[in-house]
C-alpha cells in the first residue's frame, strides 16, 4: 500500500518524521535525558577503537557516524566497506568494538565481515531494521532502527533512522567516556526530539525541489560537494541520484575540488552544494565560488542565513530549517532524497525497482 503516493519511495520519504519519532522514543525516552539501549546495552568507557562496516547507503551512515564518534565521543573510528574489509584480513586490536549496519540484516558481505570479527572483537554490535535477520542474530547486541518495512529499493527512511540510532550511540559513548556533561546531553536530547518537526518542514520544500529536479534531469553528470558532516551526505546524495535516475553522479569532499574534479566544471554541470551555515560554511562557500567562476550550475542547499550570505549567484537555492550542527546530516538527507526522486520521476525511470538492483544483496 503506497498510502496515496505514486511510489513506495515517495511514501517512505514522507514517513520519515514519523519513523524517526519512533526511534527517538526508544533511544531517548522523554522521562530521562540519557540514551537508553536495549538488552544489556554497552559501556564505551573501556573501548579503544570502533570499527564500523557496511555496504552502500548503510556504509554512508557509518561514515557520517565516524564524525560523531570522533568529535563528540573522542573515540578512534575505522569505517570500511564490507566487501573490502572481509578479504583484507585487518588486524582487530583488543578493546575493539565492531559495529555492523544493515537495513535488511542479510547483506552477504556485511554478514561475512561480522563473522570475521567474531572471536576477535570485544563485542559485536549491529544496527538493523529487520530484527530477526542473520546479522541481528549473530551479534552480541542488535539495535533496531524502527523504520518499518522499506519496500523501495533505494534506501531512504532506513538511512535517517540508522543515523538517528548511530547519533544516540555516539552520545552514549561520549557520556560513558566523560566527554559530554549531563547538561550537554540534555541539550542534544532536546534538539533530537525536535527532529520530527524539523523534518516535516524540510518536506515542505518538495515543490521547490521538484522544480530544481526538472533542470537536473537534463544533465548527463552531476557533482555533489560537502565538507565535514556534509561530505558523507554528498556521497549518499550521489548514490541515490545515480541508482534511480541513471544520471552519473559523483561526490567529493569540497576541499578535494581543486585536486582534480574542478576540471569537469562547465556550464552544463550541475553541482549540488550541501552547506548549512556551520563552522565550515566559509570554506565550503569559497569552493562553491570556484564552481561559479567556471560557470558551473550551483544548486545550493543551505539555511536562510547561508542563502542570504552566499546564495546570490546560484542557479537555484533550497532552504532548510536551522538545526544544531550535529543533526544536519539527518535533515539534509531529505532534500538529497527528494532531488533524486523527482529527477527520476522527470526522467520516467522505474523509481521503486531500478534496473539491475535488488533490495537485499544476499550473494556477494
Ligand atoms: C542504496 C541501497 C543499498 C543498500 C546496501 C546495503 O539505496 O539501498 O546501497 O544500502 O545494499 O543494504 P543493507 O542495508 O540491507 O545491508
> What is the tens place of the pLDDT at every residue in 129-139?
999 999 999 99
How do strand 96-102 and strand 49-54 relate by DSSP bridges? parallel
> 238 with 249: CB under 8 angstroms?
yes
ipTM for the predicted complex comes to 0.99
Which of 25-34, 152-161, 238-247 shows the lowest mean pLDDT across its residues? 25-34
Averaged pLDDT, 304-331: 97
Supply the pLDDT for residue 363: 84
> What is the tens place of the pLDDT at every residue in 49-105?
999 999 999 999 999 999 999 999 999 999 999 999 999 999 999 899 999 999 999
β-bridge partners, 101: 127
User: Does residue 337's CB lie within 6 angstroms of at least one atom of ligand 1?
Assistant: no
Supply the pLDDT for residue 23: 98
Task: Tell me, yes or no, if the pTM score tops 0.95.
Answer: yes
Ligand 1 geometric centre to CA of 121 (Å): 24
Supply the pLDDT for residue 340: 98
Supply the pLDDT for residue 94: 87
User: Does residue 155's CB lie within 6 angstroms of at least one atom of ligand 1?
Assistant: yes
Work out the number of other CB atoms within 10 angstroms of the CB of residue 339: 26
User: Does residue 58's CB lie within 6 angstroms of at least one atom of ligand 1?
Assistant: yes
User: Does residue 107's CB lie within 6 angstroms of at least one atom of ligand 1?
Assistant: yes
Supply the pLDDT for residue 364: 84
Q: Which of 55, 64, 82 to mutate to test the pocket of ligand 1 (most atoms within 8 A of CB)?
A: 55
| Mean confidence (pLDDT) of the chain | 96
Tell me which residue of 321, 228, 233 sits closest to 272, measured CA to CA.
233
Burial 76-92 (b: 16+ CB within 10 A, else e): ebbbbbbbebbeeebeb
Which strands sit side by side in the sheet containing 96-102, from one edge to the other? Answer: 77-81, 49-54, 96-102, 123-128, 141-144
Averaged pLDDT, 238-244: 97
> What is the tens place of the pLDDT at every residue in 198-234?
999 999 999 999 999 999 999 999 999 999 999 999 9
Question: Would you call 359 a catalytic residue per the annotation?
Answer: yes
Cell numbers found for residue 73:
565521543
Please report which confidence band the pLDDT of residue 189 belongs to, taking 50, 70 and 90 as the band edges. very high
Ligand 1 geometric centre to CA of 282 (Å): 33
User: Does residue 126's CB lie within 6 angstroms of at least one atom of ligand 1?
Assistant: no
What residues contact residue 227 under an 8 Å CB cut-off, 6+ apart? 253, 254, 255, 275, 280, 283, 284, 287
Which atom of ligand 1 is least distant from the CA of 56? 9
Q: What percent of the chain has pLDDT over 70?
A: 100
CA gap 201, 358 in Å, rounded: 32
Rounded to 5°, angle at Cα 263 from 259 and 265: 120
CA gap 305, 354 in Å, rounded: 37
Ligand 1 geometric centre to CA of 114 (Å): 16
131, with CB counted inside 10 A (0-12, 13-18, 19+), is: middle
> What is the tens place of the pLDDT at every residue in 148-162?
999 999 999 999 999
> What is the tens place of the pLDDT at every residue in 245-294?
999 999 999 999 999 999 999 999 999 999 999 999 999 999 999 999 99
β-bridge partners, 102: 128
What residues contact residue 299 under an 8 Å CB cut-off, 6+ apart? 212, 216, 270, 271, 272, 273, 314, 315, 316, 317, 318, 339
CA gap 238, 222 in Å, rounded: 8
Amino acid at each position: 500500500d503506497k498510502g496515496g503516493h505514486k511510489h513506495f519511495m515517495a511514501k517512505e520519504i514522507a514517513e520519515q518524521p514519523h519513523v524517526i519519532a519512533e526511534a527517538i522514543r526508544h533511544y531517548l525516552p522523554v522521562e530521562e535525558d540519557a540514551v537508553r539501549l536495549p538488552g544489556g546495552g554497552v559501556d564505551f568507557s573501556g573501548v579503544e577503537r570502533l570499527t564500523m562496516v557496511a555496504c552502500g547507503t548503510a556504509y554512508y551512515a557509518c561514515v557520517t557516524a565516524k564524525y560523531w564518534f570522533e568529535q563528540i565521543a573522542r573515540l578512534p573510528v575505522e569505517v570500511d566497506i564490507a566487501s573490502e574489509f572481509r578479504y583484507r584480513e585487518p588486524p582487530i586490536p583488543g578493546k575493539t568494538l565492531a559495529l555492523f549496519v544493515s537495513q535488511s540484516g542479510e547483506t552477504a558481505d556485511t554478514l561475512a565481515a561480522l563473522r570475521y570479527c567474531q572471536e576477535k572483537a570485544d563485542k559485536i554490535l549491529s544496527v538493523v531494521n529487520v530484527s530477526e535477520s542473520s546479522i541481528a542474530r549473530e551479534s552480541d547486541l542488535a539495535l533496531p532502527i524502527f523504520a518499518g518495512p522499506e519496500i523501495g529499493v533505494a534506501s531512504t527512511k532506513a538511512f535517517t533512522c540508522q543515523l538517528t540510532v548511530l547519533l544516540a550511540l555516539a552520545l552514549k559513548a561520549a557520556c560513558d567516556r566523560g566527554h559530554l556533561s549531563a547538561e550537554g546531553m540534555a541539550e542534544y536530547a532536546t534538539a533530537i526530539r525536535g527532529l520530527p518537526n524539523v523534518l516535516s518542514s524540510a518536506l515542505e520544500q518538495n515543490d521547490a525541489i521538484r522544480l530544481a529536479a526538472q533542470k537536473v534531469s537534463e544533465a548527463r553528470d552531476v557533482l555533489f560537494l560537502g565538507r565535514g558532516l556534509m561530505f558523507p551526505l554528498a556521497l549518499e546524495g550521489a548514490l541515490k541520484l545515480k541508482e534511480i535516475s541513471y544520471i552519473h553522479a559523483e561526490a567529493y569532499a569540497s576541499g578535494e575540488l581543486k585536486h582534480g574534479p574542478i576540471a569537469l566544471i562547465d556550464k552544463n554541470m550541475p553541482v549540488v552544494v550541501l552547506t548549512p551555515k556551520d563552522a565550515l560554511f566559509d570554506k565550503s562557500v569559497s569552493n562553491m565560488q570556484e564552481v561559479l567562476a567556471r560557470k558551473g550550475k550551483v544548486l545550493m542547499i543551505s539555511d536562510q542565513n547561508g542563502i542570504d550570505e552566499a546564495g546570490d549567484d546560484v542557479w537555484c537555492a533550497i532552504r532548510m530549517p536551522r538545526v544544531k550542527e550535529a543533526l544536519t546530516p539527518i535533515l539534509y538527507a531529505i532534500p538529497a532524497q527528494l532531488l533524486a526522486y523527482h529527477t527520476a520521476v522527470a526522467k520516467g525511470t522505474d523509481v521503486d525497482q531500478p534496473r539491475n538492483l535488488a533490495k537485499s544483496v544476499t550473494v556477494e
